[in-house]
Amino acid sequence: MNESTRTMIRDMKAGMFVETNVLLGTAYLATAQVELFTVYNRILVMGLFFEVTTLWAGATTLKFTWTSSEPTITVQDICALGGSMNGFVAGARCYMVGDAYDTVANVEESAGITPFDAVPMMLGNAPTLAGVTSVGTIGQDTGVAGTGVSAGKFGLLYIPIDPGSRAVALI
């Protein structure tokens, strides 16, 4: 079996992974909505998280959101604000649990160890009969901005559902 076939089987079984660049807290985790990933058609979210890459300074909290331009859906929370990330070291994560759209995002202070207790959540819409692709974005919003040299990146593990379904990092 060649490598491309193995990769395709792995992606179908375990999901596909996309992540943002490393982002400075003061620039991207400010107290405002920031779009992270563009989603085409429907995907099943298996994991959605923020991972700290340098010591986190500031009582930053965050939640994940969904917005769609086709069909039009204004910003909707897909989880509630998690606890403070103040003092998190590299490898600590804040992640979406996904068992209900208003469940609090979990914060995991153990560097490099995150329980996989997320319940899959479907985001997006099927293409229309006329073939119009559904387009939406996964974003984040914070309660208190990150400070100083704090930095991290967002990751999305997903399974595409429709032909042409995919997620692309915006930043």
CA triplet 46, 35, 140: central angle to 5 degrees?
65
- Compute φ and ψ for 14, nearest 5 degrees: -105, -20
Contact call for residues 168 and 73 (beta carbons, < 8 A) = no
- At 146 the pLDDT is 66
The C-alpha atoms of residue 100 and residue 18 are separated, in whole angstroms, by: 23
Contact call for residues 155 and 18 (beta carbons, < 8 A) = yes
Reading the block at residue 74, the tokens are 């204004």
Contact call for residues 137 and 39 (beta carbons, < 8 A) = yes
- At 50 the pLDDT is 92
Summarize pLDDT for 36-62 with one digit per residue, the tens: 999 999 999 999 999 999 988 888 888
- At 83 the pLDDT is 85
- At 6 the pLDDT is 60
Q: pTM to 2 decimals? A: 0.87
Reading the block at residue 48, the tokens are 């959605």
Contact call for residues 67 and 134 (beta carbons, < 8 A) = no
E-assigned strands of 78-133?
Answer: 93-95, 106-108, 121-123
The C-alpha atoms of residue 62 and residue 94 are separated, in whole angstroms, by: 8
Residues of the chain scoring pLDDT < 50: none
The C-alpha atoms of residue 29 and residue 141 are separated, in whole angstroms, by: 7
